[in-house]
Amino acid sequence: MKGTSHLLIGTAAGAIAGYTAQPDVKTALIGAMIGGVSGVAPDLDTNGLASNHITVSKKVSKWLMETAGIVILLTLVYQTFTEGLSSDIYLYGGLGLLLLIVSRIITQRRMLTITGVLVMLLGFVLGESIGILLAGSYIIMASFLPHRSYTHSLLGVAFYGFILHYLYAEWPIDGMVAAGLAGYLSHLAADMKLLPVNRRGVKWFLPIWKQEF
């Protein structure tokens, strides 16, 4: 199923779950947003739509890295001519070259890995927020997993539930856990083989039972 369909179904599921948890419009709207994000989260294991949303578009990030690398190297050359050799030259020169090389070889999936690492760093900065650290680790794991494997299983649902649980402990927003789980589960349901649009199904019981449903 396509990313836009997952977004729509997740948003609807989140709105309903939010409203059920607490019947007011505000909770339903927040639930819709959380449900929408959660509805595309399982597909972070693809190079497709979902990962394009969370990662800075590859072209932009590549351009940024290249520009930063060239600026650093040019500054270094300029400095060496005007002030003579400084001891920092190896460090900054190395950094500039590294950026240039990384921008050449990086794939969409490794951009996602880096995004996950940055989210984890954010978690550390925000007073070691466990919820954000777990979210970052989810992104990193998804960037290495084959499509429709663990993110599309009950184990994935449980891990996502952990993330929501800890985020809720730090930022108690009504209906957050219910809407997030509803959105996530709606994705797996919509990916099932029961629906004729899906060629492949969902391996709910990985790693114990590899049957697709």
Interacting residues with Zn ion (CB under 5 A): 42-43, 191
Of 89 and 195, which CB lies nearer to Zn ion in the complex structure? 195
CB of 52 to Zn ion, least distance (A): 14
Of 19 and 43, which CB lies nearer to Zn ion in the complex structure? 43
Kindly list the distances between the CA atom of residue 120 and the CA atoms of 31, 164, 199, in Å, as whole numbers in the listed order.
24, 15, 35
Nearest to 180 by CA among 15, 6, 8: 15
Please answer whether residues 76 and 92 qualify as being in contact, where contact means their C-beta atoms are separated by less than 8 angstroms: yes
CB of 207 to Zn ion, least distance (A): 18
CB of 50 to Zn ion, least distance (A): 8
Of 51 and 61, which CB lies nearer to Zn ion in the complex structure? 51
Of 131 and 156, which CB lies nearer to Zn ion in the complex structure? 156
Q: Give the span between the Cα atoms of 21 and 16, in whole angstroms.
A: 9
The owner of tokens 């270094």 is 76
Of 113 and 186, which CB lies nearer to Zn ion in the complex structure? 186
Please answer whether residues 191 and 201 qualify as being in contact, where contact means their C-beta atoms are separated by less than 8 angstroms: yes
Report the first-to-last Cα separation within the chain, whole angstroms: 15
Of 61 and 186, which CB lies nearer to Zn ion in the complex structure? 186
Q: Give the span between the Cα atoms of 116 and 165, in whole angstroms.
A: 19
Nearest to 61 by CA among 99, 116, 118, 117: 99
Please answer whether residues 15 and 35 qualify as being in contact, where contact means their C-beta atoms are separated by less than 8 angstroms: yes
CB of 18 to Zn ion, least distance (A): 22
CB of 41 to Zn ion, least distance (A): 9
Q: Provide the token pair at 99.
A: 């950026």
CB of 42 to Zn ion, least distance (A): 5
